[in-house]
Amino acid sequence: MTGTAPAPFTADDYRARMDRAARQAAGAGLAGLLVAPGPDLVWLTGYTPTAVTERLTLLVLAAGREPVLVVPTLEAPDAEHAPGAPAITLRDWTDGKDPYAVTAALLDADGRFGVSDNAWAMHLLGLQRALPGTSYASLTEALPMLRAVKDAAELDLLAAAGAAADAAFEEIRKVPFAGRRETDVAADLAALLRRFGHSQVDFTIVASGPNGANPHHEIGDRVIERGDMVVLDFGGLKDGYGSDTSRTVHVGEPTDEERRVHDLVREAQEAGFSAVRPGAACQDVDRAARAVIADAGYGEYFIHRTGHGIGVTTHEPPYMIEGEEQPLVPGMCFSVEPGVYLPGRFGVRIEDIVTVTGDGGRRLNNTAREMVTVD
Ligand code: ZN
Ligand code: ZN
Ligand code: ZN
């Protein structure tokens, strides 16, 4: 893998993941899975091409068959060294050959295949041209829980990523906020995430004052002032696994109302966390957090779902949202991140990554959830 420390997974681990994926695909009525470079390929094989180009790289999985990685000849030496390579047959193709014909020879001509969501349209169109009888489904829609339950080694990596994000928060609360731009604090946050071991920073949201009321606001040139609430939401990848945490700080002493709204979100976050246990539905976590905010009269200001899964990406299934009846299973990891957004004024969000244990939940973020004041 490029740019990250090697994950502690063996070819046998990757073989087991590919077997499970192929079995689940068959169970979902699919002839197989087609996996392009991206998070699914990393999780299944440990392989990341140095650059994703127009040349086709595609893992073909089907129950009862050996996994095959179709790969450009010039990238085959790299692919041979992927951690999962001993469990995979490589089928290389040279420039000038038709990679879709090479792939088509591996596929049922009238099969329905799950395709990783980030596969390029040009490749899917090429396959459809080569095999007009085939049809395709989104891998994430067909097998949403494929990567959802983490094993012990994955949990250790997620916990380490969470601890690194927590360490970044402990440092950022010491830097000056008042008089600096959001972009300056965001740059500090990114540097801290890297200092504490992240190889990739996915987001560093610094949303001050009225900007905090817009959950989609990332950063801008606004100069942070005394009296501002500031939503900090940051994360990325450390050793191939994700972090994502939010804390809302106040520059100087907060007003009673700011304190009350912050306490409310903290109580909602606690309620969401307390709802985490095996067998509960994803939507139960959302309902528990939302009920606290609604009961206090702020229901219309909590304008997003309560959480999302995390693993080799920072946003993936399962989603903690009304209507998601998927039961929680030990080993699942996701955010619990309620918020209240008061238009034109301020916002508050508090977010921890939580993993499901045998009898409840365990937080992977553990910095103070009480209001922190900064300078
Ligand atoms: Zn204030
Ligand atoms: Zn977040
Ligand atoms: Zn999140």
- Tens of pLDDT, residue by residue over 316-371, are 999 999 999 999 999 999 999 999 999 999 999 999 999 999 999 999 999 999 99
142 residue type, one letter: A
Distance of CA 305 to the CA centre of its chain: 15
Q: Which ligand is nearest to the CA of 304?
A: 3
Closest ligand (CA of 245): 2
Please state the pTM of the whole predicted model: 0.95
Q: Cβ(47)–Cβ(79) under 8 Å?
A: yes
**Residue 323, CB-side half-sphere exposure with 13 Å CA sphere:** 1
Element (H, E) at 340: strand 339-342
- Half-sphere exposure (CA, 13 Å, Cβ side) for 61? 28
Residue 69 CA from chain centroid, whole number: 25
Determine the distance separating the centroid of ligand 1 and the alpha carbon of 180, expressed in angstroms: 16
Q: How far is the CA of 234 from the centre of ligand 3 (A)?
A: 8
Structure tokens of 209?
Answer: 């004052």
Q: Rounded to 5 degrees, what are φ and ψ at 257?
A: -65, -45
Q: What angle do CA 85, 63, 242 make, to 5 degrees?
A: 55
Distance 286 CA to ligand 1 centre (A): 28
Would you call the peptide bond into 83 cis, given omega within 30 degrees of 0 as the criterion?
no
State in Å: Cα 293 to ligand 1 middle.
20
Report how far residue 48's alpha carbon sits from residue 4's, in angstroms, rounded to the nearest whole number: 11
CA of 33 to the centre of ligand 3 (A): 28
The Cα 167–Cα 367 span in angstroms is: 8
Cα–Cα distance measured from residue 92 to residue 71, given in angstroms and rounded to the nearest whole number: 5
Low-confidence ranges of the chain (pLDDT < 70): 1-7
Whether 162 contacts 353, CB under 8 Å = yes
C-alpha of residue 223 to centroid of ligand 1, in Å? 14
Ligand nearest to the CA of 307: 3
Confidence at residue 2, expressed as pLDDT on a 0 to 100 scale? 42
What is the CATH topology of the domain spanning 152-374? Creatine Amidinohydrolase (3.90.230)
Find the ligand nearest to 252 CA. 1
Domain residue ranges in the chain:
11-142, 152-374
- pLDDT for the residue numbered 6: 53
Q: Which ligand is nearest to the CA of 255?
A: 1
Question: Given this model, what pLDDT does residue 218 score?
Answer: 84
Domain 11-142 falls in which CATH fold?
Creatine Amidinohydrolase; Chain A, domain 1 (3.40.350)
List, in sequence order, the alpha helices (H) in the chain.
Answer: 11-27, 39-45, 76-80, 99-104, 121-130, 139-142, 152-172, 182-195, 256-274, 282-295
Compute CA 140 distance to the chain's CA centroid, rounded to the nearest angstrom: 13
Q: Which residues surround ligand 1, an ion (CB under 5 A)?
A: 227, 258
